[in-house]
Homo-oligomer: A and B are copies of this chain.
Amino acid sequence: MKKLINAPDAVVADALRGFEAAYAGRVKVDHELATVYRADPPLLGTVGLVSGGGSGHEPLHAGYVGHGMLSAACCGQVFTSPVPEQVLTATRRVDTGAGVLQLVKNYTGDVMNFEMAAEMAAEEEGGLEIATVVLDDDVAVENSTWTAGRRGTGATVFAEKLAGAAAEEGRPLADVAAIARRVNENARSMGMALAPCTPPSAGRPNFTLAEDEMEMGVGIHGEPGRATAPLAPAAEIAEQLLAPILADLPFSRGDQVLTLVNGMGSTPLIELYLMYGEVARILAAHGIHVARPLVGNFITSLDMAGCSVTLVRADDELVRLWDAPVDTPALRWGR
Contacts and interface: CB of A to CB of B under 8 A. Distances in A.
Interface centre among A6, A270, A278 (most CB of B within 10 A): A270
A2 B305 contact: yes
Contact of A269 (B2, B7, B271, B300): B300
A226 interface: no
Interface string A276-315: 1110100000000010010101001011011100000000
Interface residues of A, number: 60
Copies in the complex: 2
Interface stretch (A51-59, A109-117, A154-162, A242-250): A51-59
B271 A22 contact: no
A260 to B, nearest CB: 11
A56 to B, nearest CB: 6
A15 interface: yes
A303 B268 contact: yes
Given A274-B11, A276-B21, A6 B234 contact: yes
A21 B273 CA distance: 9
Contact of A305 (B17, B194, B266): B266
27 contacts: A2-B211, A2-B214, A2-B231, A4-B237, A4-B274, A4-B307, A6-B274, A7-B233, A15-B273, A16-B273, A18-B272, A18-B278, A18-B280, A18-B295, A19-B273, A19-B277, A21-B277, A22-B293, A22-B295, A58-B269, A63-B269, A265-B266, A265-B268, A268-B302, A269-B297, A297-B297, A333-B333
Nearest to A276: B18
